[in-house]
Amino acid sequence: MAKNFVRAIFPGSFDPVTNGHLDVIHRAVPLFDELVVAVVHNSHKNQLFSPKERVDMIAELIADTPNVSVESFDGLTVEYAKKRQANVILRGLRSLTDVQYEFQLAMTNRAVASIETVFIMTSERYGFTSSTLIREIASLGGDLSNLIPQNVQAQLRGRFGD
């Protein structure tokens, strides 16, 4: 029996990308034939980095990772998934707090677009991190060297003037 090609999208704001995001990406690679990191542009959120800046940061980090690409999109995730002919939406879970929201989102996506969601728990080392928390620590000049990649830390320093 031939194996079906499985393309997954990993949508998120990634503002900025964290080691937790990268952990999920690297652990997802063997599960799918192709993984697209999908940077959402949300005009309703006050985002620190432009979609292009976020795509560029992630592209640098995944450059040597086979079958992984990064691009940005506008609009509904399920519409983007359909456009990219994705079979799966990948979501990272950090804590029990994430589970209720993500479960509701996954059920809705299945109901409206017949697309499955696969969850990967982030490493316990990163379970407490979020892009919002990273931005707050960066704005106050805190040390983020254990939570984000060096290229992202340099971008944050540039943004906050450190």
Determine the Cα–Cα distance for residues 139 and 158; give it in Å rounded to an integer. 11
Determine the Cα–Cα distance for residues 43 and 75; give it in Å rounded to an integer. 10
Mean pLDDT value of segment 38-54: 90
Mean pLDDT value of segment 143-152: 93
Residue 160's nearest CA partner among 129, 137, 139, 135 is: 139
Dihedral sign from CA coordinates of 108, 109, 114, 118:
negative
3-state percent helix, strand, coil for the chain, nearest multiple of 5: 45, 20, 35
Burial class (CB in 10 A: 0-12, 13-18, 19+), 130: middle
* More confident of the two residues 149 and 45: 149
Q: How far apart are the first and last CA of the chain?
A: 57
Determine the Cα–Cα distance for residues 43 and 81; give it in Å rounded to an integer. 19
Alpha-helix runs per DSSP H in 43-145: 51-62, 77-83, 96-113, 131-139
Q: Give the predicted TM-score (pTM) of the model.
A: 0.93
For the chain, what are the domain ranges?
7-127
Please give the DSSP secondary-structure letter assigned to residue 4: P
pLDDT for position 3: 76
Tens of pLDDT, residue by residue over 105-138, are 999 999 999 999 999 999 999 888 899 999 999 9
Tens of pLDDT, residue by residue over 8-45, are 999 999 999 999 999 999 999 999 999 999 999 987 77
Mean pLDDT value of segment 143-149: 93
Q: What is the mean pLDDT of the chain?
A: 93
pLDDT for position 82: 96
User: Which residues have a catalytic role annotated?
Assistant: 21, 45, 94, 131
pLDDT(104) > 90:
yes
Right CATH for 7-127 from 1.10.40.30, 3.40.50.150, 3.40.50.80, 3.40.50.620: 3.40.50.620
pLDDT band at 1 (very low <50, low <70, confident <90, very high): low
Tens of pLDDT, residue by residue over 76-89, are 999 999 999 999 99
pLDDT band at 51 (very low <50, low <70, confident <90, very high): very high
